[in-house]
Amino acid sequence: MAQHYEPPKQAGVGQFIDSIVLMVLVFICLLAPVYLKADHSAAPPPEVQAEAAKAAATWQSLGQTPAQAQQWEKLGYTPETAQPIVENRFDYTVDPTALIVTIAVIVGYFVFVFRISDREYREVVRERFGNGGN
Amino acid sequence: MSEATTAAAGGSSGQPTRIALLKVLGPVHVWALGVGIVLVGEFMGWNFSVGKGGAYGSLIACWVVGLLYTCVAMIDSEVTSTVAAAGGQYTQAKHIVGPLMAFNVGLYLVMAYTMLEAGDALVVGDLMKAVAGEFGHADLDPRPFVVLSIAILAWLNYRGVFMTLTVNFVITAAAFLAIVILFFGVAPWEPGKVLLHKELLIDLPYGWIGVIAAMQFAMWYYLGIEGTCQAAEEVRSAGRSIPLGTMSGMITLLIAASLTWYVAAGLMPWEYLGQAITPLYDAAKLTGNGTLQVILFVGTIFSAIASANGCINDASRAWFSMGRDRYLPTWFGAVHPRYRTPYRAILFLIPIAVVFAFQAPLDQVISFSILSGLLGYTFMSLNMMKFRKQWPLGSIKRGYVHPFHPLPAIVLLVLCVATYFATFLGYGATLVAVMAFYILASAWFVFHRYKFVRRGDQFTMPWPRPKGY
């Protein structure tokens, strides 16, 4: 029979600190792109809106057909207020280095998690079912 | 099963009492949990895929991602009906892959649902503001509505799962009905009268790369359907209720997604639709029909509330399960002695949802949720292959066996890879930040937290030794 592992008891303070650590990690990692404005946003940023407002736009100059213009107007928009929305486009130019780094991060993460999990799982199985394998 | 999965309701007395979650749910509740979480995706969020790939791009992405979720539902139905315990995929990972994967899967679930809950509350607030603006109160502060929504739903969850999911069934059905009413209200049999597809639809604005990019937000049509398995420990018959509730939920969502796209694309220019916060309410507004507008206002609010309600239910079950297994502080593994709910997990996650609802824009919140879901689907495809390898058919009792294995698992993995690339297009920094979180959290678990976890106790299913181990 495999040796039984008896974990240490965790004090209340330790439990509290562990809860906070995870939450801090969440906030730092997930709010970072928001504050660093590293990504595209569905809503146009204020500076784009201000820049767009400088030029006098018309529905035609925005490439809107009469039917499209009619729907914009029903929604309460004028060419000036619609301009930053119409001109807020995604840039799908792929940066090969960024793509390779992203792939490496995702693949590396899964390889790491599966390898360590396998090691831990063998320990669990040994303790639950004994040393004999199949 | 309930004896094996009981939880310590430890309190200040120091003498733990063994209390189990209640087995009171049927297929209707499973449907309500799955569709309730997801249906809000038809009322908001899916349309960001129009912004990334145009209206046609969004439709193609919707179909492709529908295939991804069909694979998810097939796989989930088999594994969950066999591993019927709170925590859903987390518990599956614990029994099939190993502790670190289980810890990560638990976090995927918590983050996906908590972010979705934050998004739901944001929509409630924004819609209240929009409607108040139409009645001359444009300066209405939406934040009290956000906090109030989350607080009331948390209270409902705190008080009991049966009432929570019964309420979800009623409001989800009403929200779905609102979509059907809108569809008939725009007279689809008379093209050009209300719906202007011919005039509004244009070719793919970004070409085919836009279609791939649109897959990221097309996930929003269905994200969360896999949440049905969080109820596994609380259903009366997991083998019947989980597959029935999940599959009927998926059919409901495919119908709702098609109707939603058809109506919205025929009423709004794609540039507007691609950034709208409440597109179906806007669609109703464009019809000029006051009754439809009221129905869609109610439908949007109901869908957001049903979703947030289901999210609180699911995120707290995952957090609770991790606490019960010592992956997180054991304090979270407590069941309320009277209401039999994971009340500490429910309360702990409230401020997190509120902070995200206040601090991050909706598309970023949705991206966090989608990425956590996507990591979970990647796990599910690999998990399914391991599950069949370690316990081949016939070696253990399965509640349901999905057909064509390993095709659904392979298709799921390929579509997940495509969706990672879709996220990279436009939201690459968010993708890396989310990965950084899971890598750091994994390191924390391996080097610190795992020492508090009992090894053999993690395997609670009455199965034989896995093959290959």
Q: Is residue B133 part of a domain?
A: yes
A100 and A80 in a single domain? The answer is: yes
- Lowest model confidence (mean pLDDT) among B23-37, B105-119, B242-256, B407-421: B23-37
Q: CB B452 to CB A88 under 8 A?
A: no
Q: Is residue A68 part of a domain?
A: yes
pLDDT at B162: 78
The Cα of A69 is separated from the nearest Cα of chain B by a number of Å equal to 8
Q: Is residue B2 part of a domain?
A: no
Q: Is residue A4 part of a domain?
A: no
* Average pLDDT over every residue of B149-166: 84
By percentage, how much of chain B surpasses pLDDT 90?
Answer: 48
Query: In angstroms, rounded to a whole number, what is the distance separating the alpha carbons of residues B122 and B114?
Result: 12
> In the predicted model, is pLDDT for residue B285 greater than 50?
yes
Q: Could you tell me which chain B residue has the CA closest to the CA of A131?
A: B469
Q: What is the ipTM of this complex?
A: 0.84
Number of domains in chain A: 2
pLDDT at B20: 64
Residue B376 corresponds to which tokens in the numbers above? 């979970």
Residue B379 corresponds to which tokens in the numbers above? 């796990």
> In the predicted model, is pLDDT for residue B3 greater than 50?
no
* Average pLDDT over every residue of B192-205: 93
**For chain A, the helix, strand and coil percentages under 3-state DSSP, each to the nearest 5:** 65, 0, 35
pLDDT at B183: 95
Q: Is residue B6 part of a domain?
A: no
Q: Is residue A2 part of a domain?
A: no
Enclosing domain of residue B171: 27-452
Enclosing domain of residue A77: 43-129
Q: B252-289 burial by CB neighbour count: b if 16+ within 10 A, else e? A: bbbebbbbbbbbbbbbbbbbbbbbbbbbbbbbbbbbeb
A116 and A81 in a single domain? The answer is: yes
Interface test with A, best of B382, B448, B451, B455 (most A CBs within 10 A): B455
**B213 φ/ψ angles, rounded to the nearest 5 degrees:** -60, -35
DSSP B57-82: HHHHHHHHHHHHHHHHHHHHHHHHHH
Which residues of chain A lie closer than 8 angstroms to B361, CB-CB? 34, 41-43
* Average pLDDT over every residue of B18-40: 77
Mean pLDDT of chain B: 87
The Cα of B111 is separated from the nearest Cα of chain A by a number of Å equal to 9
The Cα of B28 is separated from the nearest Cα of chain A by a number of Å equal to 34
Q: What is the pLDDT of residues B81-96, one digit of tens each?
A: 788 776 678 989 999 9
By percentage, how much of chain B surpasses pLDDT 70?
Answer: 94
- Lowest model confidence (mean pLDDT) among A8-22, B223-237, B259-273, B428-442: B223-237
Which residues of chain B lie closer than 8 angstroms to A23, CB-CB? 352
A49 and A91 in a single domain? The answer is: yes
* Average pLDDT over every residue of A74-103: 93
A53 and A102 in a single domain? The answer is: yes
The set of residues, in sequence order, having a beta carbon less than 8 Å from that of B72 and lying 6+ positions away, is B225, B226, B377, B380, B412
* Average pLDDT over every residue of B1-10: 36
Q: Are B361 and A37 in contact (CB under 8 A)?
A: no
A51 and A16 in a single domain? The answer is: no
The Cα of B422 is separated from the nearest Cα of chain A by a number of Å equal to 10
E strand map for B28-124:
none
Q: Is residue A85 part of a domain?
A: yes
Q: CB A7 to CB B452 under 8 A?
A: yes
Q: Is residue A134 part of a domain?
A: no
CA distances from B291 to B187, B282, B284, B287 (A): 15, 13, 9, 10
- Lowest model confidence (mean pLDDT) among A66-70, B42-46, B415-419: B42-46
Q: Is residue B163 part of a domain?
A: yes
Question: What's the one-letter identity of residue B141?
Answer: D
Number of domains in chain B: 1
A34 and A63 in a single domain? The answer is: no
Interface test with A, best of B432, B434, B461, B467 (most A CBs within 10 A): B432
Q: Is residue A1 part of a domain?
A: no
Q: Which burial class, exposed, middle or buried, applies to A23 when counting CB atoms under 10 A from its CB (0-12, 13-18, 19+)?
A: middle
A75 and A104 in a single domain? The answer is: yes
Residue A39 corresponds to which tokens in the numbers above? 């990504």
Q: Which burial class, exposed, middle or buried, applies to B304 when counting CB atoms under 10 A from its CB (0-12, 13-18, 19+)?
A: buried
- Lowest model confidence (mean pLDDT) among A68-72, B234-238, B355-359: B234-238
pLDDT at A37: 64
Query: In angstroms, rounded to a whole number, what is the distance separating the alpha carbons of residues B218 and B65?
Result: 6
pLDDT at A46: 59
A28 and A61 in a single domain? The answer is: no
pLDDT at A44: 59
> In the predicted model, is pLDDT for residue B266 greater than 70?
yes
Which residues of chain B lie closer than 8 angstroms to A77, CB-CB? 272
Q: CB B434 to CB A124 under 8 A?
A: no
Q: How far separated are the first and last CA of chain A, in Å rounded?
A: 15
pLDDT at B137: 86
pLDDT at A97: 95
Question: What's the one-letter identity of residue B339?
Answer: Y
pLDDT at A53: 56
Option in A8, A92, A112 nearest B425 (CB): A92
A122 and A64 in a single domain? The answer is: yes
By percentage, how much of chain A surpasses pLDDT 70?
Answer: 80
Higher pLDDT, B117 or B271: B271
Coil, helix or strand at residue B25? strand
Coil, helix or strand at residue B225? helix
CA distances from B458 to B103, B325, B454 (A): 12, 7, 7
Q: B149-183 burial by CB neighbour count: b if 16+ within 10 A, else e? A: bbeebbebbbbbbeebbebbbebbbebbebbebbb
Q: Is residue A117 part of a domain?
A: yes
Whether A75 has its CB under 8 Å from any CB of chain B: the answer is yes
Q: Helices H, strands E: what count in chain B?
A: 16, 2
DSSP B365-393: HHHHHHHHHHHHHHHHHHHHHHHHHHS-T
CA distances from B28 to B20, B158, B311, B324, B454 (A): 22, 21, 17, 28, 36
Question: What's the one-letter identity of residue B442?
Answer: S
The Cα of B125 is separated from the nearest Cα of chain A by a number of Å equal to 17
Residue B406 pLDDT grade (very low, low, confident, very high; cuts 50, 70, 90)? very high
CA distances from B403 to B227, B249, B411 (A): 21, 19, 13
- Lowest model confidence (mean pLDDT) among A129-133, B72-76, B153-157: A129-133
Which residues of chain B lie closer than 8 angstroms to A41, CB-CB? 361, 363-364
Q: What is the pLDDT of residues B289-347, one digit of tens each?
A: 999 999 999 999 999 888 888 888 888 988 998 999 999 999 998 889 888 888 999 99
A117 and A66 in a single domain? The answer is: yes
Option in B209, B360, B451 nearest A34 (CB): B360
- CATH of residue B294: 1.20.1740.10
- Lowest model confidence (mean pLDDT) among B206-210, B234-238, B450-454: B234-238
A22 and A48 in a single domain? The answer is: no
Option in A67, A101, A113 nearest B196 (CB): A67
Between strands B18-19 and B7-8, the pairing is antiparallel
A54 and A114 in a single domain? The answer is: yes
pLDDT at A52: 54
> In the predicted model, is pLDDT for residue B418 greater than 90?
yes
> In the predicted model, is pLDDT for residue B62 greater than 50?
yes
For chain A, give the longest Cα–Cα distance. Answer: 81
Residue B145 pLDDT grade (very low, low, confident, very high; cuts 50, 70, 90)? confident
CA distances from B401 to B81, B334, B396, B407 (A): 9, 33, 11, 14
Residue ranges of A 27-66 with Cβ closer than 8 A to chain B: 27, 29-34, 36, 38-44, 64-65
